[in-house]
Structures are given as C-alpha cells and as structure tokens.
Amino acid sequence: MSGKLKIGWSCKDFSTTEPTCIHGQFHIRLSKGITDPVTVTALVLDSGDDQMVWLSCDATGFHGTIVTEVRERVRVLVPEVDVAKLVMNCTHTHCTTDFNGEGMAKPLRDFPVDPEVKYMPSSQARELFLEACSQAVKEAWETRSEGGVAWGYGYAVASHSRKVWYFDDLSKRPGRGGATGMAVNGHAAMYGYTNDDQFSHYEAGADHFVNLMYTFDAEGTLTGAVVNLACPSQNSEGFDSLTADFWHQVRQRLAEKHGPINVLAQCAPAGDLSPRILHYRAAQERRFKLKYGEFSTITERMDIAERLCGAFDEVLSWAKKDIRYEVKIVNSVEKIDLELRPFTEEEYKNEITVQAELQKMEFRKDGTPWERFREDSILAARRNRSKAFLARCGRVRNGERYAMELHVVAVGDIAFVTSPFELYQDYMHRIQARSPYEQTFTVQLCDNQYETGSGYLATERAVEGGGYSSSRYCNWVSPKGGQELVEATLARLNDLKKKE
C-alpha cells in the first residue's frame, strides 16, 4: 500500500587538484587540475514499506569491488538502508579520478613508469570516492523529510548516432585493417568520416526523450530531480583535467533559475550514441561562433544544457500539477545471467597470434617521461584487451554465462530498470515499448557485484557491421544475451505491476 514519502538528498565532491590517472581512452592521461567538480549525488525515497536509495556518480564505469566496498561502508554507517537495493550509476564522463584502480592499463603493473612522473596513488583516489559515496547516502538518509514526487517526459536533442556505415568493407581498404588489439573494422566505424564517397548511413537513430522525476518538500517547493537522458557525458572526453562534462553546465543553469536544487543524472542506454554530430560540422562551427563567440567542447556542452534545461522547465510547468505525497515503492533486485558473446575457432587462433605480436612489441625508450607514460599505456591497454578476449573465450568454452544484478524499482506509475553495460538503445526501446508502467527510466552503466567489467552490449546489426563498440574486444555479452536481459527485465516489471 502507499505510504507518506520521506525524501532525502545529498551531493558530495570527490575532485582533487593532485594529478590522478584519467582513464576512458586507449591511453592514460594525468589530470592537470579541475575544470569543474566531479561529484556523487544521493537520493533516498522512503515510503515506510520500502525504499529507493540511488547514487549517481560522475564516473566512466565501475570495475572490481568498488560497489561492494561502497555497500559495506553504507551498511555500517546507515544500518537502516538495505544495501542490496542500493543502486549506483555512472554519468559516463571520461574525465574522473582513478578510483577504480584499473582501466585499460594499470601503471607499474602493466608498464614501467619513470620516477619523475608523479600522481596520486589509485588507493588514495579510491578512498576519496568511497568516502564521498558513503557519506552522501548517510546524509541523504538522515536528512530525509516528508515530501512528494511528480514526473513526466519532454524532449531535448543531445545525442546522435556515432556509428557510420559504408557501402564497402573498411577492412579491405589499404591500411584500414585496424590496430592490433584495438579494433575490428567492417562496414561500420565508430566516429567514421562522413565526407566519403562510400558513406551509406548512420547505424541507428537517436532518442530525444528526457524522463524526469521531480521531488518537492511538504510545502510543494522543488528540491531536486532525477534527469534521465540517453546521452553519455563525453563532449570533453579528451580533457587532461577533471570535469563532469555537460552535466556541470546543466547543474549550473538549473541552480541559477531554481536555487540549490539537487540533480541526479542518469545515462539511459546510449552505447551507440554520442553528444557530437559527425556531419554538418562546418555549420555547427558557424552556429557556435555566432551564438557563443567560439566553437569548443565547452560551447557544445552549453548548447546541450540549454536544451535540456528547457525541457526540464517545460515538463515541470505541468508535472507539478500532480505531486504525489503518498506513493507505493516496490524495489526488486535479483541475479540473472546472460549469454557471453561466442567466438569462432578462427578468431581464437588469430588472437593467440595477436597476443604474441603484442608481447614482442617493446615499451618506448626515447622521449620525455610523460611521453613514454602515454605511449606505453597504449601498448599495455592493447595487450590487456587481447588477454581479456582470450579469457572470455575460456569462459565460453567452459559453458559459463555473464552474471549481473538487475534492479527494478517501481515508484507509483513509473519504474526504474538497470544494466551494467554501455547498452545499445534498441534494447531500451524493446523494454519501454512493452513495459506495463507509464514511464520506464532505463539506466545504463550501473553497479554489478558479480563481474569485474561489462563492455558494450551491441545489437545484431551492429555486430554484423563491426567496428569499435561491436567488436570481439568490446562485447562481453552477445545480442542474444541482450534480448535475455530485455525479457528478464520485462518479467520483473510485470511481476511488480501485479503486486500493486
């Protein structure tokens, strides 16, 4: 039955001015200060009968035991929180601290580092992040008070398809076979060049829906919102400084109009999407120079924030007419397993050769310590990607499957569902189209205590086209496993709906 809602919020900054390893590319960058803060935001909804505890993190992804460690700290600090139901998601900024302790390559373990290259140890960056997460949940729980929620959807153009298809097979072009241990070219390419006489089409469309859930205090004053957008925050993905990317501009703009409200950012499935357009570049440059005075990733971020905040205000104008102060929460978490991506014997034998070639390559001996650090991290990353593929081959041969946490949370007439992958948008649409709920907030890059990684979960047509994000190096789970995820999610959604 419905109960009076108690709502709590908290936001904690885990930025550091000390150099830290930034992952999210094939090379490791060392941060040079802070462009804007990277934060974690916690939201607690407590109906008395059940609870929703959510953490949004300005992070690229989760690896290893990070989620387990956060939950253990919260278990001690806030025994009332059911930590099994605590959900963490990443906004997918590519410029955050090295709290995972691993990326595509780990310094010292995977490649040599000159003593002159100084940076914050991963363990120290991890402590900053763990403390921020656990304290945010603690504060959100302890400050919860009676309030209400309202929801709706709007539109904001933020993402575009980033997979380009060609009439010919790129792997047949001279010099386009793909770097060893990095990519597998085909008819498609991530961020492909569009001014090409063999350009055919974009692999997918884009999703311009913005799902919003607002929170209010007992007097009806806006206190925060969940903003669910199918777009990774990676306009500034190559920065050598910490940044929350376009979410920083969104938070700033909303604060200017609504005061110090909380914003819990969720990245909906967008494994095949990007906030950058691939054609119309000259027109875009002119647009930004006339509109903002310059063309840069920052102005790209400002443009997205303007549209997203416009949608935020438009939806708020009518959603607030239906604030629910009593709402039923049903929170479910279960372990499911999915089919690992299969491989051919030819692929396996080829990868054995690839790994041998990579091991023969030597780390750089010339250049500055920082140049060697960058270049050596690329070689190490290529070796690790190849090793990871071979390890997955072993798992497939052993009949293993990919284990994951599936969180499904119903809040009144809406629901939240999770996956740990960079999930292609087709899977989101398959879930939303058949969901029994009025709105279904699908969230990618969420926690998973059962595996150390996730990768992209590509569609059937993406695997057929090849290219980065749909190659053997990028996919842990097969398209068949993706449909298994869809069906398991819908089964749970229908189960929760029957309990109302």
Q: Is residue 32 part of a domain?
A: yes
- In this prediction, residues 332-336 reach a mean pLDDT of 97
What is the mean pLDDT of the segment spanning 259-285?
A: 96
In a domain, 254, yes or no: yes
Residues with Cβ within 8 Å of 36's Cβ and at least 6 positions away in sequence, in order, are 242, 243, 244, 248
Return all residues near 462 (Cβ < 8 A) that are at least 6 apart: 163, 188, 203, 272, 424, 469, 470
CA 122 to chain centre: 21
The CA radius of gyration of the chain, in Å to the nearest whole number, is: 22
pLDDT of 26 above 90: no
Task: Identify the bridge partners of residue 22 per DSSP, sorted by sequence position.
Answer: 29
Higher pLDDT, 320 or 23: 320
Q: Name the token pair of 143.
A: 């400050």
Across the range 325-348, mean pLDDT stands at 96
Instruction: Single out the residue of 309, 308, 230, 323 nearest to residue 268, CA to CA.
Output: 230
Range of the domain at 250: 3-160+204-338+401-498
pLDDT at 177 (0 to 100):
57
Cβ distance 120 to 20 under 8 Å?
yes
| Distance between CA atoms of residues 272 and 274, nearest Å | 7
Residue 32 clears pLDDT 90, i.e. is over it: yes
pLDDT digits 0-9 by tens, 430-477 = 999 999 999 999 999 999 999 988 999 999 999 999 999 999 999 999
Placement of tokens 């253990």 in the chain: 72
Within-domain flag for 77:
yes
What is the dihedral angle through the alpha carbons of 63, 65, 71, 74, rounded to the nearest 10 degrees?
-100
Instruction: Answer whether residue 473 is part of any domain.
Output: yes
pLDDT score of 175: 73
Structural domain includes residue 324: yes
Instruction: Give the model's pLDDT for residue 257.
Output: 97
Q: How much is the pLDDT for 180?
A: 59
For residue 377, tell me if it sits in a domain: no
For residues 247-273, average pLDDT: 98
DSSP character string of 313-351 = HHHHHHHGGG-BSEE-EEEEEEEEEEPBPP--HHHHHHH
**376 located within any domain:** no
Average pLDDT over residues 475-480: 98
The answer to whether 218 touches 145, Cβ cutoff 8 Å, is yes
Would you place residue 25 in the very low, low, confident or very high pLDDT band (cuts 50, 70, 90)? confident
DSSP 85-116: G-EEEE---S-----SS-SS--BTTTB---TT
Which 8-state DSSP code applies to residue 362? P
Only one residue has tokens 């190096």, namely: 473
pLDDT digits (tens, 9 = 90+) for 140-178: 999 999 999 999 999 999 999 999 999 999 988 887 655
Burial (Cβ within 10 Å: 0-12, 13-18, ≥19) of residue 2 = middle
The confidence band for 362, taking pLDDT boundaries of 50, 70 and 90, is very high
For residue range 100-137, what is the model confidence (pLDDT) as tens digits? 876 688 999 999 999 999 999 999 999 999 999 999 99
The answer to whether 204 and 424 have CB atoms below 8 angstroms apart is yes
Mean predicted confidence (pLDDT) in 403-423: 98
Reply yes or no on whether the pLDDT at 320 is more than 70. Answer: yes
The percent of residues in the chain predicted with pLDDT above 70, rounded, is: 97
Q: Is the pLDDT score of 184 beyond 90?
A: no
Question: How far is residue 226 from each of residues 24, 43, 134, 213, 424, measured CA to CA in Å?
Answer: 25, 9, 19, 5, 21
pLDDT confidence band for 337 (50 / 70 / 90): very high
Note whether 103 and 21 are within 8 A (CB).
yes
Distance of alpha carbon 29 from alpha carbon 485, whole angstroms: 34
pLDDT at 201 over 80: yes
Q: What's the average model confidence in pLDDT over 395-406?
A: 98
Enter the tokens of residue 169.
């097979």
pLDDT of residue 20: 95
In the chain, the number of structural domains is 1
Q: Write down the pLDDT at residue 462.
A: 96
Answer yes or no: is 19 within a domain. Answer: yes
For the chain, what is the mean pLDDT?
95
Q: Give yes or no for residue 487 having a pLDDT over 70.
A: yes
Q: Which two tokens stand for residue 37?
A: 């803060």
Contacts made by residues 315-320, CB under 8 angstroms, sequence distance 24+: 315/152, 315/153, 315/154, 315/210, 315/212, 316/212, 316/214, 316/222, 318/152, 319/150, 319/151, 319/152, 319/212, 319/214, 320/150, 320/214, 320/216, 320/220, 320/222
The whole-number pLDDT of residue 117 equals 96
- pLDDT confidence bin for 380, thresholds 50/70/90: very high
Determine the 3-state secondary structure of 23 from DSSP.
coil
| pLDDT reported for residue 185 | 79
- As separate numbers, helices (DSSP H) first and strands (DSSP E) second, the chain gives 10, 23
Can you tell me the distance from the alpha carbon of 474 to that of 26, in angstroms, rounded to the nearest whole number?
Answer: 13
The conformation of residue 169, written as its DSSP 8-state character, comes to -
Please, are residues 95 and 239 in contact by the beta-carbon 8 Å criterion?
yes
Neighbours of 363 (CB within 10 A): 12
